[in-house]
Amino acid sequence: MLLKLDFSSDVPIYLQIRNQIVMGIAEGKLSPGEKLPTVRALAVESGINVMTVNKAYALLKQEGYILADRRSGAIINPDIAKPGFISDKTKNDLKLVISEIKLAGVSREELLNLCGQLYDETGETR
Amino acid sequence: MLLKLDFSSDVPIYLQIRNQIVMGIAEGKLSPGEKLPTVRALAVESGINVMTVNKAYALLKQEGYILADRRSGAIINPDIAKPGFISDKTKNDLKLVISEIKLAGVSREELLNLCGQLYDETGETR
DNA sequence: TTATTTGTATTATAATTAGTAATACAATAA
DNA sequence: TTATTGTATTACTAATTATAATACAAATAA
């Protein structure tokens, strides 16, 4: 697990860590169940603070990409085995928007139509 | 159009304005096409700065709830006539999440299933 | 037990962002 | 022209964010 951190970037360090781990999973460089380096190891190796690494891990944990506790350390969430996995955070974001739409008085069918349409016309992001 | 602003609230003033206008529309107190007070009128009446009102208007404009330009002043968007109206912002939020999900390798059917499920189990927000 | 290793809570600090405002401006209409 | 509209620029303060130093709690290994 080697990270390439750009300290002059305006993307915060903890986010760079988080992003590279997510991409590592997506590219298959990190496998579900695989052990991640300890927060301390990563911190020393990268010359940054433990809590900066922890912030990345906490975020990944909250998003459902990794599991982390005091005994076992951090591992890639085994449930991301197959493609089609939707993170907790993404699912939550979706739920929030759908709530708003429902409250706006949009019917179930209208919503599903819109979602399908957006799915079709959607390419890339970020 | 009378606004009730709470200056000791931790909801920023411009958001209070925005929210009360959105609710006003939802409750039928403000009709599509109806003229809104000028930024100056609202500012003086409420004892706040013009630009604070403008920030609310700019947000409402961006969200698609009102139309505003230099000639006509600001009016409620006539297209919000019927319930079921989805604001530009909401539509954009939805598009963003769906993009992420699509990129995660989720199929169209899976997405629609999830959306339907979330629609059903969703009650309130905020 | 004690020592060590894990993630995390607390606290601090510098930098950035957000909320509000004073003022000036551009476009339109009368 | 003059008055009215929304908006751009700028500034100032308060709140938030990113990072870090340090201490702690839970678990395991010795």
Instruction: Identify the weakest region by mean pLDDT among A33-37, A102-106, A114-118.
Output: A102-106
Cα–Cα distances (Å) from A76 to A18, A31, A110, in that order, read 12, 7, 37
Residue A110 pLDDT class (50, 70, 90 cuts) = very high
At residue B87, the pLDDT reads 83
Domains for chain A: give ranges and CATH numbers. Answer: 13-80 (1.10.10.10), 88-121 (no CATH)
Q: Rounded to an integer, what distance in angstroms lies between the CA atom of residue B39 and that of residue B25?
A: 18
Residue A94 to residue B118, Cβ atoms within 8 A: yes
Above pLDDT 70, what percent of chain B?
94
Q: Rounded to an integer, what distance in angstroms lies between the CA atom of residue B98 and that of residue A17?
A: 24
At residue A125, the pLDDT reads 33
Least CB–CB distance from A118: residue in B95, B105, B119: B95
A47, amino acid identity: G
Please identify residues in chain A, positions 88-117, with a C-beta within 7 angstroms of any atom of strand D.
none
B15 nearest nt, CA–C1': C19
Least CB–CB distance from B97: residue in A83, A93, A103: A93
- Average pLDDT value for chain B: 88
Give the residue from B108, B39, B78, B101 showing the smallest Cα distance to A112: B108
Give the residue from B118, B84, B111 showing the smallest Cα distance to A117: B111
Residue B99 pLDDT class (50, 70, 90 cuts) = confident
Residue in the structure block whose two tokens are 């200056």: B7
Rounded mean pLDDT, A96-125? 85
Instruction: Report chain B residues whose CB lies below 8 A from the CB of A100.
Output: 90, 93, 125
Q: Rounded to an integer, what distance in angstroms lies between the CA atom of residue B47 and that of residue A30?
A: 57
Residue B114 main-chain phi, psi, to 5 deg: -60, -45
Q: Which residue has the higher pLDDT, B109 or A103?
A: B109
Q: Which residue has the higher pLDDT, B70 or B57?
A: B57
Residue B124 pLDDT class (50, 70, 90 cuts) = very low
How far apart are the CA of A56 and the nearest CA of chain B, in angstroms?
20
CB proximity under 8 Å: B 9-68 to A:
none
Residue A126 pLDDT class (50, 70, 90 cuts) = very low
Chain B within 8 Å of A94 (Cβ-Cβ)? yes
Sequence-ordered list of residues with C-beta below 8 angstroms from that of A38, at least 6 positions apart, any chain: A73, A74
A11 nearest nt, CA–C1': D18
Judged by DSSP in three states, B70 sits in coil
Residue B125 pLDDT class (50, 70, 90 cuts) = very low
Residue A107 to residue B84, Cβ atoms within 8 A: yes
- Taking the CA of residue B66 and the C1' sugar atom of nucleotide C29, their distance in angstroms comes to 22
pLDDT tens digits, one per residue of B40-57: 999 999 999 999 999 999
Above pLDDT 70, what percent of chain A?
94
Q: How would DSSP label each residue in A9-66?
A: SSS-HHHHHHHHHHHHHHTTSS-TTPBPPPHHHHHHHHTS-HHHHHHHHHHHHHHTSE
Rounded mean pLDDT, A50-71? 93
- Average pLDDT value for chain A: 88
